[in-house]
Amino acid sequence: MSYMILDRRADGKIFENAGKLGFTVIPADYIKGIDETVAWHPDMQLVKIGSAVVVNPESLEYYRKAMKGINLISGKSAVQGKYPEYVAYNIALAGKTAIHNFKYTDETVKKLLKGYELINVNQGYTKCSVCTLPDGIITSDRGVAESCEGKIDVLKIRQGEISLYGKDYGFIGGASGYFGGKLYFAGNVKLHSDYDKIKKFCEKKCIEIVCLSNDKLADIGSIIKCVFEKSSDNLEALSKSVREFIVENIEPTEIERLIEKGYGFFEKSEKAEFKKDIEKAIRAQPDILTRLFVLRRNRIIENRAEDFLKESSVINIDGFLTFRLKDYSEEIENLIDYHADDFMMKREYKEFLLLLSAYVDTQERKAEKLNIVVTENGEYLYYDGHGKHLNGEYEAEAAIEFGGDYSSEDLLINVLINKNPGSIVIHNRQFIKKEISSTIEAIFGDRIRFCNGCGLCETLM
């Protein structure tokens, strides 16, 4: 079923012609306490982003009853107060470009706009001012046009020639709505002085113009279409949208909650670091168990969402997570436990390095300065502050201590701890392994200096 939402004050011919075109026309809700001019305007109450429709929370019940089968999500911002406080949903969406004064955008809407190019403008009545197409806009607002130039195709038209209840004139965005390859107008756009420019702009984009009446254009708060048929394809698409929303916006908080539940004994900074590790692992999927988690998570959320949407058109995300996705939370908990072993090993290793650092600080400095040159094949060459080559001496000492079975990294750490130099200069940093560099920096701190190029570096390259 296709719904068309219109200001109930719109001319009766517009309602009639919309019905003849096969739309079920829904009069917009009335918002008390805001400027009467826009109190019936649908673009002040809701915004369609992909397959989801974010609605003013006070209008949610009204639209839930009026439009069966639509994926409605409650926004966080109530439409109230004075301009620009009530423009939270008046966003212009042209393809994957979102235009608004984002200081006033609803927080739920902002989350759903991830992946969109955001163009910030001063105009709060952005959707009212902008007629949106998949890859372009039409507007009479100079500020909006200038902000969008070079980022999206812009047609600037003259101001006026559009009626608006209670005002001298209205705007092209509020008098139009694009969907299904057609641009619908509330009135006859051919009466506008810039019709030829508008027609040419649309023809270039293969867009058909449809006039819903023969009267002067009227700003009725945009023409908004919502469609939902309970086919398997639509249910699948909506379920994926729900999953994407939960993964992007709810999962980070759920990971944080479950870390607090199972590992509350971690320090605050450790919890934050552990959370970053978990999120990084989910993105990178470095092992089979993490890959399986991602596959199971996606399947669980999508299957539960599809089952739910067969029964209802409105999802309360908090309730859905609590009552329908308990096994999803269990999957996250299992993943956290799986990665906790690695994290705690790293945690213990850091604690060990701190103790080792404290220990070496109390020991005698047996060398004033030590130069360590890292070769391209990862070997370490040792020189004192006067340029004397020390590898033979150090390797002989290591042979006695290790019995001849040791790596170049073993020798490096052994030399640094036993000699405990007052100053350590590492040459050719690009060849040293990251984990080795991190370890010696943790132990010796500001005694470490990395050389960016000197005679010793060049001689041994």
Mean pLDDT value of segment 60-76: 85
Question: What percentage of the chain reaches a pLDDT higher than 90?
Answer: 64
Side chain identity, residue 15: F
Q: Over the stretch 141-190, which tens digit does the pLDDT of each residue have?
A: 999 999 999 999 999 999 999 999 999 999 999 999 999 899 999 999 99
Q: What is the pLDDT at residue 354?
A: 87
Place 213 in a pLDDT band, splitting at 50, 70 and 90: very high
3-state helix, strand, coil in the chain (%, to 5): 50, 20, 35
**Contact between 401 and 417 (Cβ < 8 Å):** no
d(CA 172, CA 201): 14
d(CA 448, CA 461): 21
**Contact between 336 and 259 (Cβ < 8 Å):** yes
Q: Which fold has domain 2-227?
A: L-arginine/glycine Amidinotransferase; Chain A (3.75.10)
Between these two residues, 308 and 370, which has the higher pLDDT value? 370
In three-state secondary structure terms, 39 is coil
Q: Over the stretch 385-433, which tens digit does the pLDDT of each residue have?
A: 888 999 999 988 888 887 767 888 889 988 999 999 999 999 988 888 8
Q: What is the mean pLDDT of the chain?
A: 90
Q: What is the pLDDT at residue 96?
A: 94
Place 248 in a pLDDT band, splitting at 50, 70 and 90: confident
Sheet holding 224-227, edge to edge: 24-27, 2-6, 224-227
Per-residue pLDDT at 236 exceeds 60? yes
Domain residue ranges in the chain: 2-227, 232-357, 363-460
In three-state secondary structure terms, 92 is strand
Per-residue pLDDT at 372 exceeds 80? yes
Per-residue pLDDT at 50 exceeds 70? yes
Q: Which fold has domain 363-460?
A: Nucleotidyltransferase; domain 5 (3.30.420)
Q: What is the pLDDT at residue 164?
A: 96
Q: What is the pLDDT at residue 60?
A: 92
Burial call 400-425: b when 16+ CB within 10 Å, e when fewer: eeeeeeeeeeebbbbbbeebbbeebb
Residue with token string 């670091």? 273
Per-residue pLDDT at 233 exceeds 80? no
d(CA 50, CA 238): 9
Distances in whole angstroms, Cα of residue 182 to Cα of each of 10, 16, 208, 421: 20, 18, 5, 76
